[in-house]
Structure 1
Amino acid sequence: MMDTTKETKTSLLRTVVLVIGAHIVLILTDGLTLCFGVYLNDLADELDAGLGVLGAASSLLTTVLHLFSPIGTLIVLKIGYRRTIMLGTLLTSCGLILSSRVQSVWQLFISHSLITGIGVSMVYANTVAFIGISCREHVSIANGVITAGTGLIAFPFLINVLRSMYGWRGSLLLLGACVLHATLISVVIFKDPKTTKTTIYLEDEKFIEVRADDEDDEKKEIIEEEKGTKELLKEYLKLPLKYPLFGFLLIVSNVLFISFAGAIYHLVSHAVDIGISEQNAALLMTIFGIGNLVSRLFNGVPIKLNLITSNKLFSVTLLTASVCTILIPFCTRYVYLAAIVLLFGWSIGSVPLIYLISREIVGVRNFPKSMGVLLFSTAPAGVVGGFFTGWIYDVSGSYDTAFFAMASLFFVAFLFQVLPRFYYLKYKIDRDIHTAAGCPKSVTESVI
């Protein structure tokens, strides 16, 4: 009994260390690069370039991150998590250091958009996937903690301090060196699955509501077969067909990111447009960040306590985002607008629940592949959302119509999240009835 208690405490301690370490790795890579916009004015003065081109170089990093994610998960199967994430942190560091030496805009597209973008993509998707595989008992909390995004609060202040002391080139150089700490952390916390022989078990009862490949056994052993790259790519493409709920989740994710980008990218401009000072308008982003951070840190708690499922909580946050977005045009007083933006930040903080729901649908074995497919499919969403809102504003001359359109898209995402699951649960009940009545199991499974 004592040995079991001691083993449980040791396992919990390892989980805590792993989650904290993974959180720091993501802060030093994904969180840091998201704050690159602080340098835009410095780059515009130094490189004699427009903010539009520089903004494109900055946002293109996110597109590269999403597009390269499936390749990053394939690399894991070849060299393991530890080496892949280490390589990603090194590329991120090199990209930042090279960006500190650029002399023209096209060099920034190579150093920041391409090199740093590829580096972050190898870190982000694989870190989330590794946590999803390793922290099975506390996955809802761990998933929220590692993607909390505290770097968005801490790094802008640090960057401004370093800029005032060493200039923008010196600060980028120092930040590139700081990312090397993520490399050292990766060596310690990410165990290479190729050198650690462990057997992973799935507890099917935890996924019975959404898993489409249930078996009668309570547990089944997962054995990863050696497959070629072509076969693995085929498995990636077949995931939405093999798991229809995952296919609908891809639609939800894309609509969510389009509507989120369309709303948040133009929030400050809308505030200035209705007469709010630029300083207070910019403060809205900080308020949004606070709501987002609180959501990511604590959304996993009620799921862990079985107070609500991840699917239901995600559905609630989608509906909340729709309501908040439609209320923004009606908030003419700053205090009301700030309150709505805080709640909007909380609702958008539910994005990591997509990864948790994906894991529940496809299972632990296919979770890394689902991460690659999810990120790859949502690559154009941010650009489309920002453009769509701007286009509506140009046509109508008002942000009100644009925010109403974004609210409608949030509601569409809510419907695609909720309605297919009603159909699936109804089908599951019908399948169970037929199976109990003597219908061969193979027949009912073939329908799925």
Structure 2
Amino acid sequence: MPKEEEAAARISKDQDRGWAWVVLVATVIVQGLTLGFPSCTGVFFKDLQRDFQASNSQTSWFPSIMTAVLHAGGPLCSILVERFGCRTTVMLGGLLSGVGMVASAFSKSISHLYITAGFITGLGSCFSFQAGVTVLGYYFIRRRALANALASTGVSIGLTLWPLFSQYMLDEMGWRNTFLIFGGVLLNCCVCGAVMRPVVPVQLPAPSSKPYPEQPPEGAYLCASCIQTLQKYLAFDVFCKNKGYQIYTIGVSWMVMGFVLPLIYLVPYAIFNGVPERKAALLISIIGFINIFMRPMAGLLSGLNVFTGRRIYLFSLAVLLNGLSNLICAISADYTVLVFYCLVYSVSMSVIGALLFQVLMDVVEMDRFSSALGLFTILESVTILIGPPLAGLLVDITGHYSYVFYASTFFMVTSAVFMGLSFCTMKAKNKLKETHKLLSPEVPSRGKYMEVPTEQGPNRNDPPAVIYITILSPVGIPHHCRLPVSYRANSEWVYKL
């Protein structure tokens, strides 16, 4: 059998069945190890502050750098996937994540954590997560939506287990030994990557023995290559031309400044107000546990026909409710109130997580989705990076964690109002433009009119002839009405204004 036919047969055998489900399980584990991991950082907040004599603002840089790099590394991960394939990229990410956490255990200052746990572990998590999601697109065709919905439960499982595991290990072994063990746990991404055998063989560019004639100058060549790479992985042209993508990107970038704050500061806030450490860590696990069930349900709900073209409004409503729920936490730190807050917060968080990339697919053409996603995550990572340190500075100045949740409410609510009103206005303008096109397919020059006389019959009893005069308003909008101005014989003059 020729190699092409053998490859085609293997692809057909693997897709949507058999080994595809093994890859799906591996992707669920990868998402739990990567996207779910930053949720446990709040457990170590007080210990890191004490050992390094660091302020809230200084300590919060460590999780914010990790989360920001996890999002910002998307374009670099795409290049690695294109060059080496998903399997190698996932394994490389697992290796980087493990090395970063092992190195963090030997940190001498809080700034060392920024590089090891923040940058190295964050970048490794990005490689493993994005490449793991990408490989599902090769293994699932007919059941791709189901596969992505099931894979997203890995994040919720991670949110549930990481805080509990972290608190237990911290109590038993201290944060340095816990970070060492975390390094070994994150190396399991390499095992998950190993089972993601390539469905489509990776095409490595073959070196050409022929010299290129008339090579341009090296500087010009590098400049052209950079521009081409930016166009491929960062959709600046789409951002400038697509109003919906522009509104959504700005709105989400502003939103995440407040969205990540509760996951980082909820545990320190509870401990500060007298809640035992293990019960405080349980709050994050409650959020993750509810997400396991609510996120797939939210995805199925948003797929109903009634929400077609309206998902952005459902998303904006979820952002609004998420922001307002933070007021519950800010008003009272009683443990019962905090548990109720986690229930409300997790429901709205599930809808946001389920719709975040689905809405992006609605506003951007699919042939440009990959590059649009690259720019989207880059801009999003900038605000993720600065949000927690600013909140930490607010705590250092005021001495109260409740202001963090007020700040989160401000960012979430203003973002929801901005996106909802902007899309409503844009939709109304588009409808108005379509109406104008239907009513006046050919617009004559402004200030002129046309006369179209009907033929007058010889008989005086014939129906009246009508002369249509089209006059444009000063803004170019035609109006439709019948205004008889004079009667001569059986002729009627009608202005069509």
Report the TM-score, using the length of structure 1 for normalisation. Answer: 0.73
Partner of 2:238: 239
Report the CA distance between 1:195 and its aligned residue: 3.6
Change (3 A) 1:18 1:435: farther
Distance in 2 separating the partners of 1:272 and 1:170: 22
Residue 216 (structure 1) aligns with: none
* Residues 42 and 289 of structure 1: CA distance in aligned 2, closer, same or farther (over 3 Å): same
**Structure 2 residues without counterparts, runs of 5 or longer:** 1-11, 204-223, 443-497
- CA drift at 1:331: 4.5
User: How far apart, CA to CA, are the structure 1 residues paired with 2:166 and 2:143?
Assistant: 34
Larger radius of gyration: 2
Which of 368, 390, 402 is the equivalent residue of 1:366? 368
Tell me, yes or no, if structure 1 residue 346 matches structure 2 residue 342.
no
Partner of 2:162 in structure 1?
Answer: 155
Deviation at 1:192, TM superposition (A): 6.2
Are 2:75 and 1:78 equivalent residues in the alignment?
no
**Residue 88 of structure 1: which of 78, 90, 93 is its match?**
93
Secondary structure at the aligned position of 2:260 is classed as helix
- Assess, with a 3 A threshold, how the Cα gap between structure 1 residues 168 and 267 changes in structure 2: closer, same or farther: closer
Matches within 5 A, 1:382-393: 382-390=384-392
Secondary structure, in 3 states, of the residue corresponding to 2:36? helix
* Cα distance in 2 for residues equivalent to 1:124 and 1:104: 29
Deviation at 1:11, TM superposition (A): 2.3
Secondary structure at the aligned position of 1:299 is classed as helix
Structure number with higher relative contact order (C-alpha < 8 Å, ≥ 6 residues apart):
1
Contact 2:261 2:408 in 1 (8 A): yes
Q: Give the one of 24, 35, 47 matched to 2:40.
A: 35
Which residue is 1:181 aligned to? 188
Label 1:419 to 1:82 Cα distance change in 2 as closer, same or farther (>3 A): farther
Question: 1:24 is matched with which residue?
Answer: 29
Q: Per-residue CA shift, 1:324-367, capped at 9, x if unaligned?
A: 12343444654344213311122123234211211232243333
Distance in 2 of aligned mates of 1:405 and 1:168: 29
Q: What percentage of aligned pairs have identical amino acids?
A: 23
Q: Distance in 1 between matches of 2:261 and 2:167?
A: 28
Partner of 1:222: none
The 1:323/1:156 distance shift into structure 2, 3 A limit, reads: closer
Structure 1 unpaired stretches of 5+:
1-6, 197-226, 441-448
| Distance of aligned partners of 1:173 and 1:299 in 2 relative to their CA distance in 1, 3 Å threshold | same
Shift of 1:159: 4.7
Residue of structure 2 aligned with 1:50, choices 37, 53, 57: 53
The 3 A distance-change label for structure 1 pair 410 and 141 is farther
Q: Structure 1 counterpart of 2:302, which letter?
A: I
TM-aligned CA deviation for residue 398 of structure 1? 5.8
Distance 1:24 1:116 in 2: 17
Distance across 2 between alignment mates of 1:253 and 1:157: 30
The structure with the greater share of residues assigned to helix is: 1
Q: 1:262–1:387: 8 Å Cα contact kept in structure 2?
A: no
Question: Does the C-alpha gap of structure 1 residues 11 and 249 become closer, same or farther in structure 2, counting only changes over 3 Å?
Answer: same
Alignment of 1:44-443 (within 5 A): 48-52=51-55, 55-102=60-107, 107-131=112-136, 141-148=146-153, 149=155, 150-159=157-166, 172-189=179-196, 191=198, 195=202, 228-235=225-232, 236=234, 237-268=236-267, 270-271=269-270, 280-306=279-305, 308-309=307-308, 310-331=311-332, 334-349=335-350, 350-390=352-392, 403-430=405-432, 432-433=434-435, 439=441
Query: Structure 1: how far apart are the matches of 2:376 and 2:256?
Result: 11
Would the aligned equivalents of 2:14 and 2:139 in 1 still touch at CA under 8 Å? no
Any conservation in 1 of the 2:64–2:386 contact (CA below 8 Å)?
A: no
- State which drifts further: 21-30 or 261-270: 261-270
Does the residue aligned with 2:52 lie in a helix, a strand or coil?
coil
CA distance, structure 2, for counterparts of residue 15 and residue 434 of structure 1: 51
Range that drifts further, 99-108 or 250-259: 99-108
Q: Distance in 1 between matches of 2:433 and 2:146?
A: 33
1:3 alignment counterpart: none
> 1:410: Cα distance to partner?
1.7
* Cα pair distance change 1:146/1:367, threshold 3 Å: farther
Q: 1:384 to 1:92 in 2, by over 3 A?
A: closer
Is this contact kept in 1: 2:87–2:193, CA < 8 A? yes
